Structure 1
Amino acid sequence: MTGRKFRTALALGSAMLAAAAVAPIAAASTTGVVWERCPDGSPQGYACGHLDVPLSETALSDQDTDGRKISIALAKLPATDPAHRLGTVFYNPGGPGVPGRFAPKELMASLGGKFDLVGFDPRGVGASGALRCFTDPRQLETLRGATGFPISAAQDRAQVAAAKTVTDLCAANGDELMGHLSTASVARDLDRLRAAFGEPKLRFYGKSYGSVLGQTYANLFGDRVGALVLDAVDDPINWSTGYRPSDAAKPFSFRLDAFPDAQRALESFLRSCAAATECAFREPGTDLLAKYDGLLDRLHRGPVTATDPETGKPLTVSYQDLVSRVHNGLLDTAKAPALARFLQAVATADEGVASTADATIPTPVDSLLGGAATLCSDSLNPRDPRVWAGFARVADRSGRGFGAYDTYKSLPCATWPALDPGRYTGPWNRPTAAPILLIANRQGDPETPYPGAKRAEKALANARLLTLDTYGHGSVGKSACVDSAAQGYLEHGALPARGTVCPPDRGPFD
C-alpha cells in the first residue's frame, strides 16, 4: 500500500471512529509527583520532577513490602497543540540502562503534538536510584575488559574473568536495589506514573527494550492498556525463557537471533551503496560484500591504522572496532554516507599496531550496570560462562562478527548475583483492554530483528504489526506513513490494515 493510499484509508478509519475519539482535555493534575527545577544543562522546555515508589512489591499486591522507597526521576514536555490536548503519552527510549527523562522533541512532532510526553529514568538508571558496584575508581578498568567481544581463546578467558570480577563487585557492594530491577518492577513503576498523572489508561511509546517494557505492562495490567506504540520490537518469549525447555541453556542474547538481521541490514546497505555514486565504499564491478569480508579477514590478522574521515586524525581499527562501528552505522539509514566513508578509510589503511588509547569505559557506569541487572533478572541464561564462546561461533555463521558481538552481551548474566523475585516471564497472551500497535523494519534491524517482531505479534493477545520497508533500528520519525499511523492509533484507536507496509521518507544515500 502506498503512503498516500494508506493515509486516505487511515483518515476514513479515523472518521468512522470519531465518536469514540477522546475529546480535548486540560492538563491533568498530578498526585504524588514532586516538581522541581531541572538539572543544569537540561534541554529547555521540560518540567522536571520525581515520584517515590516502593522498592519492592509483588505482581499480586500493591502493598509496600519493606518500607523502602526509591525516586523515579521524570520530565514532562507539554503538548505543542494544547488547544487539542488529548492526554499524556509516556516514553521509554530503550536500553535497558538508558536514561529516558527527556523525550526527544522530534518525537512530539511524529506523534502529533496533542499529548504531553512524559519520560522517566527507569529504576537503577540515571537519576532514579543508580546501582553502584564500584568502591574505587581503579576498579572501573575491570569493566573495560568485561565489555566488547573476544575473537581468540585467550581473549575469551580474559573477558570471562573480567565479567566475573564485575559481578563479584556488584555482589559485594550493590544493595537491595540490585534484586529489584526487572522489567516487571519497571512496569509497576510505569503504572504508578500513569495513576499519578490521572490517566485511566496508559498511552505509551516504547522503542527497542521499551517494547519489552510495553509488552510486560500489557500482560501485568491488561485492563489499563489504552494505546501502546511499540517500535523496534523484541520477542518477549525469547527475551525471557525461550520457546523450549532446552532454550534455557542458550544465552538470551543468542536466543533473540538479531545477528542474521544485522547481516541483512548490511547487505541492504551494500546494495544501496552499489547503486549510489555518492557512496565512498562503492567500487564498480566489485562485489561489495566480498570487499567487506576482505576487511574482516585482514583485521582478524591484526589492527590497521586508518585516517578518520570525519576528523582527519589517525585511528587504530581492530576487528572488534569494525564490527561495532558497522553495527552502529546500520541502526539508521541516515548514517549510511558516514559508514561508507569509514569502511573505505579502513579499506585503504596501513597495517597498524594495537592501541588502547581511544578505548573508553562505557558511561554512565551506574546506568550500564542497572541495565545489566534488568537483562539478567528478566532472562534465563546458562550459569557456565565458558559456553558463550561456542554459541558465538555458531552465531557468526549467520552474521559474521555480529554473532559474537550479540552473544557476548549477556555474558555477565552467567554469574550475576541477584534476581528480582517479582520478575515476569509469561504468559504473554493475557487479554488487553485495547489492541497494541507494533512497528518494525523488514530489511534488517541489527538490534531487534524483524522475525522477532512477527513472533511478538503472534504471542500477544491482540496486536497489529506495521512494517517499514527499510533497514535500521526504529521506524517512527522515518516515514510520514508510519507517523500518520501512530498518530491515528494514539488519537482514535485506529489500526492500520493487517499487512500494511510503509515506504521510508528517504533512502540511505538520498
Structure 2
Amino acid sequence: MNLRVALALGTATLAVGALAPAAAAGPAGIVWEASCAPGYDCGHLDVPLSYQDPSLGTVRLAIARLPATDQAHKLGTIFSNPGGPGSSGRFAPALTPTLHARFDIVGFDPRGVGASAKIHCFTDPAQTAVLQRALGTFPLTRAAEQQQIADTRTVTDLCEQNAGPLANHLSTGTIARDLDRLRVAFGERKLRYYGKSYGTYLGETYANLFPGATGTLALDAVDDPTRWSAGPGPMSYRLQGFADAPRALESFLDACGTRCPFDYNAILDRLEAAPATVSYQTAIARIHNYLTDAQAAPELAAFLRSLADPASPAPPSAGEPPDVDSLLGGGATLCSDAANPRNPAVWWNYAERADRIARSFGPYDVYKTLPCATWELSDPGRYTGPWNRPTAPILLLANRQGDLETPYAGAQRTERLLGNARLLTLDTYGHGSRGKSACIDRRLDDYFTTGALPAPGTLCAPDRGPFG
C-alpha cells in the first residue's frame, strides 16, 4: 500500500461532472486524441459506472500508449499500473529496453485518478487545509488522537456530501473489470501486465476474476490480497509493511558505516521530546520514504546527520504537492476494498502494537487507514476472493532485505496462495525491483517474450549498492 500524503498541499481541483451519459448501444471504443506527451499516443475509453447496473451511465478512463520501437517485430501490448491507490498511471515507463522494443506499453489512470473521472470532496479550496492535520501523520498523545479523529471525520463527511455516485464504484474489483475492457479494446486475447505495489493487488484481482484471460502478469512489490481485503484490525496493520522497517534500516546503517557516526534511537528520543527544525512525525515520514529506495541512501544519511547535528544542513524535501482529488479517489478505493473497524478509537491500540515491532514506522503505517473508520462506502463490484484460481504462470518480484510498503513475507505468502506463481527475489531493500538489477530485468524480458520463469528460489543481486 502506497497511499502517502505530503505535508505541502496544493489547491484542490473543484470541477464537477465526472459521469458521462450512458452509451446508446454497445461498448465504446478508444477515442484517440490530437495532443499528448512526447512519444506517447493519448486517448480515452468510456466504461460503465457500474458493471452490475449499466443503466447508471459511464465514466471516462484516460489512457496513453508508448509504441514499440520495433513495430515490425512487435509481440503485442503490455498494460501497466504503478501503484497507489491514487497514483496516476497514464504515462507508463518503458519497463526495459527489450520490452519497449517489442511491445506497445499502455498506461491508464484508474477511475478516480488523474485525467480519468474523479470524485471531488471539497467545494472550497480552504477546506483542503484539514487534510494536513488528518492524513499522513500519527498522534503522539491522546489529545492529538482525538483531534486527528475529528479532522479525519471532517474530511470523510465532506466526501460523503460532495463526492457523488462515483465514490461507491471505485473498488479494485471494478477497476479490474475496467482493465479487462481495455484488454478487449486493444484486441488482446490475453492480458499482459506489469503492476507495482497496489498494482499487484489489481493484478491479483484481475487474475482471479478473469483466470481464462490471464496471460503474463509480472507483479513487483507484492501485496498479500487476503490481508488487503479481509481480517481483524485496520488493513494497514494487517499488511505489516512496518515489520520490514527494522531490517531495511539495519541494511542501510550497515552500508552507511562511518558515514553515519550517530545513534539513530538517540535522534528519535530527542525529536520526540523536543522537535527541532522538523517534527517527529515529519522526520519519520521522510526516513520512511528514503528507505523505499536503496539508491536514496546518501540523502537519508545527510538527513540523519542534520537531525543529529542541527548545525548540519538538511537536504530539501522532494516531491510536488499531491493531486487532492486523486488522493481521495485512491482512499475511496482502499476503503471500498478492505474490511476495517468502524470505531476510530481502536487505531491507537493497533498503533501501539505496531510501534513495539517497528518504532515510529508502525504508527505512521497504521494511521494511513483511519479515514476508513468513518467513510461509508459500498461498491457492489468489490472482490474478496477466492485468490487461488488456476491461471497461466504469474511472476512475483520482491526485495528480501526489507520493503516498508509491501513486506517480503507478504510476497512469500502470495507465492503459496495464488494458483500458479513464482517468486523472483532481489537482494536489497526498498520498494520495487524492476530497473535495479540486470538480473531482474533480463528475467522480465524472458518472461514477457517467451513465457519462461526463473528457477525456484532465484536470487538476483542489485547492480549497485546503497552508496554506489
8 A contact 2:221–2:411 mirrored in 1: yes
Deviation at 1:31, TM superposition (A): 7.5
Pair 1:180–1:256, CA change in 2 (3 A): same
What does the per-residue CA deviation read over 1:177-233, in whole Å, with 9 as the maximum and x for residues that have no partner? 000000011100000000000000000000000000000000000000110000000
Equivalent residue, structure 2, for 1:200? 189
8 A contact 2:96–2:435 mirrored in 1: no
| TM value normalised by structure 2 | 0.91
Equivalent residue, structure 2, for 1:99? 88
Residue pairs, 1:183-332, within 5 angstroms? 183-242=172-231, 247=232, 250-274=233-257, 279=259, 282-283=260-261, 291-304=263-276, 316-332=277-293
Equivalent residue, structure 2, for 1:134? 122
| TM value normalised by structure 1 | 0.83
Structure 1 SS opposite 2:55: coil
Q: Identical aligned pairs, as a percentage?
A: 61
Aligned mates of 2:41, 2:269 — CA distance in 1 = 51
Aligned mates of 1:238, 1:178 — CA distance in 2 = 23
8 A contact 1:143–1:361 mirrored in 2: no
8 A contact 1:235–1:256 mirrored in 2: yes
The alignment's C-alpha RMSD in Å is 1.8
8 A contact 1:457–1:463 mirrored in 2: yes
Aligned mates of 2:422, 2:318 — CA distance in 1 = 42
Structure 1: 4+ residue segments shifted above 6 A:
358-361
Pair 1:378–1:362, CA change in 2 (3 A): farther
Are 1:76 and 2:60 an aligned pair?
A: no
Deviation at 1:87, TM superposition (A): 0.4
Aligned mates of 1:182, 1:101 — CA distance in 2 = 19
Are 1:454 and 2:412 an aligned pair?
A: yes
What does the per-residue CA deviation read over 1:298-345, in whole Å, with 9 as the maximum and x for residues that have no partner? 0001211xxxxxxxxxxx211111111111001111100111011101
Amino acid at match of 1:347: A
Aligned mates of 1:224, 1:231 — CA distance in 2 = 20
Q: Say which of 18, 30, 45 aligns to 1:51.
A: 45
Deviation at 1:153, TM superposition (A): 1.3
Deviation at 1:113, TM superposition (A): 2.6
Equivalent residue, structure 1, for 2:307? 346
Are 1:120 and 2:125 an aligned pair?
A: no
8 A contact 1:110–1:477 mirrored in 2: no
Deviation at 1:361, TM superposition (A): 10
Aligned mates of 2:28, 2:61 — CA distance in 1 = 14
**Mean Cα displacement is larger for which, 126-135 or 30-39?**
30-39
Pair 1:402–1:38, CA change in 2 (3 A): farther
Deviation at 1:362, TM superposition (A): 5.3
Aligned mates of 1:200, 1:499 — CA distance in 2 = 31
Task: Give the unaligned 5+ runs of structure 1.
Answer: 1-29, 59-63, 305-315, 352-357
Amino acid at match of 1:129: A
Deviation at 1:430, TM superposition (A): 1.0
What does the per-residue CA deviation read over 1:394-436, in whole Å, with 9 as the maximum and x for residues that have no partner? 101111111001000000000112111110011101111x110
Deviation at 1:66, TM superposition (A): 2.3
Equivalent residue, structure 1, for 2:16? none
What does the per-residue CA deviation read over 1:281-300, in whole Å, with 9 as the maximum and x for residues that have no partner? x22xxxx6xx1111110000
Deviation at 1:65, TM superposition (A): 2.6
Amino acid at match of 2:280: Y
8 A contact 1:79–1:108 mirrored in 2: no
Deviation at 1:38, TM superposition (A): 3.5
8 A contact 1:134–1:170 mirrored in 2: yes
Deviation at 1:149, TM superposition (A): 1.4
Aligned mates of 2:446, 2:390 — CA distance in 1 = 22
Aligned mates of 2:296, 2:319 — CA distance in 1 = 22
What does the per-residue CA deviation read over 1:111-148, in whole Å, with 9 as the maximum and x for residues that have no partner? 45311110000000011111111111111111111112
Deviation at 1:497, TM superposition (A): 0.5
Equivalent residue, structure 2, for 1:25? none
Alignment: residue pair count: 437
Structure 2 SS opposite 1:131: coil
Task: Give the unaligned 5+ runs of structure 2.
Answer: 1-26
8 A contact 2:96–2:441 mirrored in 1: no
What does the per-residue CA deviation read over 1:139-164, in whole Å, with 9 as the maximum and x for residues that have no partner? 11111111121111121111110111
8 A contact 1:168–1:417 mirrored in 2: no
